[in-house]
Structure 1
Amino acid sequence: MHFSPLQLILVLVIVILLFGTKKLRNMGGDLGEALKNFKKAVKDGDETNTNAEAPKVEQKDMQQGRVIDSEAKEKDKV
């Protein structure tokens, strides 16, 4: 099924009348930003997967910055 240029122009005019140019511009900007963020996330994911030489963090180093649930409950009781 092929569309003629006249049919495409007619559909474009109807879409502009329904949504308005401002709303279409906003939707286009949002779509472009979403694609940019998606590409950035995919690129960042690839870099982290290829970087196998990252230093390992020991368990005790990770626990220093957060409160363990049982410790928080004991502090609340006091």
Structure 2
Amino acid sequence: MGSFSMVHWLIVLVVVLLFFGRGKIPELMGDVAKGIKNFKKGMAEDESSDKAKTVEHKADEAK
């Protein structure tokens, strides 16, 4: 069984190019990059809101 040879990868590449077209692949990669950036931004906002809640909670306990 083993791994794929270079011929197998070339066939896969040709099929992908036929299926998606030359222009569609960079567009898909751009969309993936935007999704990753938005995910990271959301995680950062979530962490900052969690820290703010912790600070508020500690301030309430001190009163």
Which structure exhibits the higher relative contact order, with contacts defined as CA atoms closer than 8 Å and separated by 6 or more residues? 1
The structure having more radius of gyration, on CA atoms, is 1
1:6 corresponds to which residue?
7
Structure 1 unpaired stretches of 5+: 55-78
2:35 corresponds to which residue?
34
Whole-Å separation in 1 of the counterparts to 2:46 and 2:6: 42
TM-score (norm 1): 0.59
How far does the alpha carbon of each residue in 1:26-70 deviate from its partner, in whole angstroms, 9 at most, with x for none? 11111110111011101110111012335xxxxxxxxxxxxxxxx
Structure 2 unpaired stretches of 5+: 57-63
Whole-Å separation in 2 of the counterparts to 1:7 and 1:50: 51
1:17 corresponds to which residue?
18
Which has more helix, going by share of residues?
2
| RMSD value, Cα | 1.5
1:53 corresponds to which residue?
55
Q: After the TM superposition, list the runs of 4 or more consecutive aligned residues in structure 1 that deviate by more than 6 angstroms.
A: none
TM-score (norm 2): 0.70
Percent identity over the alignment is 31
Instruction: Number of aligned residue pairs: give it.
Output: 54
